Structure 1
Amino acid sequence: MVLGIVSNKSKNFSSQALRWRLLLSYMSVMMTILGISALAIYQYTRHNLYEQMDRRLEVLAQAASHNLVAIKAHYSKRQQRGLIGNPTSAKTRCYLDDDGDLDIPWQHLRQPDQGVEWFDAQKRLVGNAGTLLNDLPPQPGWQFGRQKKIRTVTLPAYSGSDGQKQLEGYIRANQVTDEIEVILTRLRWGLGLGGIGVIGLTGLGGIWLTKQSLKPIEQSFEQLKQFTADAAHELRSPLAAIKTSVQVMEYYPERLHPQDLKKVGAIASTTDHTIKLVEDLLLLTRIDSDVLQETVTWVELSLSEILEDLLELFQSSAQAKEITLESYLLPNVMLKGDGAELARLFRNLLENALQYTPSGGKVTVSMEQEGQNVYVNIKDTGVGIAPEHLSSIFDRFWRADRARTRRSGGMGMGLAIAMAIAKRYQGEISVTSQIDVGSCFRVKLPLD
């Protein structure tokens, strides 16, 4: 059982796949952290830039509010003289003199980046400084212009004491946001290029760290696999000696006490079972280490003949259990491979079907060919497999409590070996099953 556990772990362990999974997990975490950090930096910077602009515009509007009364008075005089036009027109632009500016300190604004507009209590434009004008009606607070390129702050202006305030109008300060948008664009490019660089360096560092961290694990699993192979190999000789001794004892039953015959038979059965387990472990270890691919030469052979030979071999076992063994095979299906391996694959599946099919049941073997693939179906009317167990039946040493307790002997290696051999041929095995109805194992193998 210790050997089985070691082999099972070595089978499920893939250093390359584990390395990539760890690296992808590491990169996902780092990219998430980097993305959140970059977004936080961008939003913080954007908020600060606009907050500074709003503060400047607020100071500008507060300073300009002291001139509202004078500008309104001058506006009224010019309106009475007929120099302004329709005061309700949204297009009306009002100045305090004829030279196109305001003879106050606001005429030196950074045109056209900034502008100040004065409104009376009825929200009519009575004056402006700078060439930056906003078509939006004055709304107290902060807002963007219609084209979302102008940042605006509008403040109400009051006259009188705190107890008797009178709304005189509104002062609106405007500023183009192009300068901030240029800074934010550069920041986005910087964060993007910097992020790519950081991700690249993080990936290289992650590869190195993952490789270093997996070295002890890989060495441990290689040692476990080597131990499994060595232990299984060393067990073959003493098991062969025990089997030979038991066979000699069974050959001369008259030399044994009658009460010892059953004990000798139990020893023989256990020895055969252990020898089969050791051979299975050796085969799986060789498959795990790709030794078979280096030592076995594939030749063109007939899959139909292999299945026919197996059906003939199992015919007597099926008759002994009163199981009907049927076949629907295609003639002359040829593929390249090793005859012993393919025979082992389908022998394990047939043994499994016969073991779990009760007396009076039926096992059917059929073949289909689709394109460059051949499909072999082994269907039984046995006890079936629960849906929650279907994903585990190909694990080594796995047994479902209900289905597998019927089996005498065996260690749950047959399906694992069948799957390992199928994968060596770039094939696959799928299974469908229903409790108390039966199971169907479908083997797909490429022909080329």
Structure 2
Amino acid sequence: MFAQIRWRLLLSYLTVFTSILVIFAAGVRLLFARSLTQQLTDRLTALGQGAATNAEFDNGRLKVESDFIVQQLIHKNQGLEWFNLNQKSILKQGNIGLNLPLSLSKSPIQFSNKNFNIQAVVVPIISNDNGKIIGYIRVSQSLEEVDETLTKLDLILGSSIIIALIFSGFSGVILTRQAMQPIEESFQRLKQFTADASHELRSPLMAIKSNAAVALKYPEKMRKSDVEKFQAIVSAANQMTHLTEDLLLLARSEKKCDRRENSVNLTAILSNLLSLYQPEATAKEIDLKSETGEDMYLLGNAGQLTRLFANLIENALHYTLSGGTVEVTANLVRSYLIVSVQDTGAGIAPEHIKLVFERFWRADESRSYWKGGSGLGLAIAKTIAQNHGGSITLTSQVGVGSCFTVRLPSVKISDNSQD
């Protein structure tokens, strides 16, 4: 139980830590990408403004006398394109050629080419004579280097997250173990106290039952009201004895049993239990059916396994009204024994299904007509199933019924000795 809690705490911690790292990495990447884009925009704008100084307006036409070295532009994967006031291209320089109409947007423009992404800015050409716009320059550059830089950044951030998670996982295991250790010790002390208290209560309860039973042997010497009181004492003592026995069994069954010692005939256990509970089913007019098939074996404790399925069958009989059906089936599926106890009782609401295996829990709607149980039967069944390397699950529908399914590892009788 505590191992599952430790793993859940570790997974929760790693999930939160991973989310924080991912958000932080995404923020770093976003800021870095914006910074690179802004730096590129500033460089392209400066380049365009420098190129604009080499243009003049002559005889109503834009005349360009460029002093820029074209090979340098090609090396930098940059391009210049000159436009007149009519937004008609009159000159191109560099190896980045854009066959796109001019856009006078003040924001940088990004678009995809066949081979790479491109960013472009448009700079107006201002006349030195009158300060009017006489044309435009579109400066563009490949984003290949920016993309490569961001890819390297992604690799660094991803690797850093993985390394951080690995170290956090190791440290998280240690921290969760240290954090759970006091809780585990307290729980072990509580279990020991429960076992000790249950054991010590058996003797005084037995004394109470014995003395009350002796008094009830001579009812003629007592008043009728006294007889009723002694009967109530016996009934209460029986309930207390049943509760202490269940608590003691639960405390003992939580200790892992040695399943290597004995092979158990599960089919025989179920057959005996069905014969045992058949009179009760007949008295309540409940159809108790079974389908177990050939002998099936598993390693474990025969007494605990008997208690497991006795609790489930008794539970089904108590929660099924007269005229209902309780069916027990057992099948071998690959290397597991699957035992189902299905009833046509009141059923359990979906929000209560996760609670049925809790100690002392009862659903008022579905259990109101049975008051004799201790509320520990299903908790004991779950503990025994887990101690035998198996599991128990519940499917239920209100007004239709419930089905408890136990899954236990099987064993071949030829490989082990039978009880």
TM-score, with normalisation over the residues of structure 1?
Answer: 0.77
> 1:276 — aligned with what?
242
Structure 1, residues 305-336: CA drift from partner, whole Å, max 9, x if none?
33333233334434444545444543544444
Relative distance call for 1:416 and 1:42 in structure 2 (3 A) is same
Structure 1, residues 109-132: CA drift from partner, whole Å, max 9, x if none?
844214544333345555566x44
Cα distance between partner residues in 2 of 1:151 and 1:370: 63
Relative distance call for 1:45 and 1:317 in structure 2 (3 A) is closer
Greater CA drift, 172-181 or 184-193: 172-181
- Tell me which amino acid in the other structure corresponds to 2:276: L
Write out aligned runs for 1:250-269 (5 A).
250-253=216-219, 256-269=222-235
> 1:85 — aligned with what?
none
Structure 1, residues 238-278: CA drift from partner, whole Å, max 9, x if none?
22232333333344556655542222222122112111111
What RMSD, in angstroms, separates the aligned Cα atoms of the two structures?
3.4
User: Which of 98, 106, 119 is the matching residue for 2:83?
Assistant: 119
> 2:383 — aligned with what?
420
Relative distance call for 1:38 and 1:306 in structure 2 (3 A) is closer
Cα distance between partner residues in 2 of 1:199 and 1:433: 40
Instruction: Measure how far apart 1:280 and its partner are.
Output: 0.8
1:347 aligns to 2:289 (yes or no)? no
Relative distance call for 1:71 and 1:270 in structure 2 (3 A) is farther
1:222 aligns to 2:222 (yes or no)? no
Instruction: Measure how far apart 1:373 and its partner are.
Output: 4.1
Cα distance between partner residues in 2 of 1:174 and 1:331: 81
Relative distance call for 1:46 and 1:446 in structure 2 (3 A) is closer
Relative distance call for 1:263 and 1:191 in structure 2 (3 A) is same
Check whether the contact 2:198–2:245 (CA below 8 A) recurs between aligned residues. Answer: yes
Among all aligned residue pairs of Structure 1 and Structure 2, give the percentage whose two residues are the same amino acid.
40
User: Which of 163, 172, 183 is the matching residue for 2:149?
Assistant: 183
Structure 1, residues 13-32: CA drift from partner, whole Å, max 9, x if none?
x3222222222122112211
User: Which of 148, 152, 159 is the matching residue for 2:120?
Assistant: 152
User: Which of 140, 146, 162 is the matching residue for 2:104?
Assistant: 140
Cα distance between partner residues in 2 of 1:440 and 1:173: 74
Which protein shows a greater Rg? 1
Structure 1, residues 48-70: CA drift from partner, whole Å, max 9, x if none?
12212211221222232232127
TM-score, with normalisation over the residues of structure 2?
Answer: 0.81
> 1:309 — aligned with what?
272
Check whether the contact 1:397–1:411 (CA below 8 A) recurs between aligned residues. Answer: yes
Relative distance call for 1:436 and 1:185 in structure 2 (3 A) is closer
> 1:84 — aligned with what?
none
Relative distance call for 1:328 and 1:140 in structure 2 (3 A) is closer
Cα distance between partner residues in 1 of 2:340 and 2:23: 52
Aligned residues: 403
Cα distance between partner residues in 2 of 1:289 and 1:333: 25
Check whether the contact 1:348–1:418 (CA below 8 A) recurs between aligned residues. Answer: yes
- Listed as ranges, the gaps of 5+ residues in structure 2 are 412-419
Check whether the contact 2:62–2:84 (CA below 8 A) recurs between aligned residues. Answer: no
- Listed as ranges, the gaps of 5+ residues in structure 1 are 1-13, 77-94, 97-101
SS at match of 1:390: helix
Cα distance between partner residues in 2 of 1:325 and 1:117: 91
Cα distance between partner residues in 2 of 1:311 and 1:74: 107
Relative distance call for 1:20 and 1:63 in structure 2 (3 A) is same
1:168 aligns to 2:131 (yes or no)? no
SS at match of 1:69: strand
Relative distance call for 1:349 and 1:39 in structure 2 (3 A) is closer
Instruction: Measure how far apart 1:440 and its partner are.
Output: 4.2
User: Which of 361, 365, 388 is the matching residue for 1:398?
Assistant: 361
Cα distance between partner residues in 1 of 2:141 and 2:342: 80
* Runs of 4+ residues over 6 Å off in structure 1: 70-76
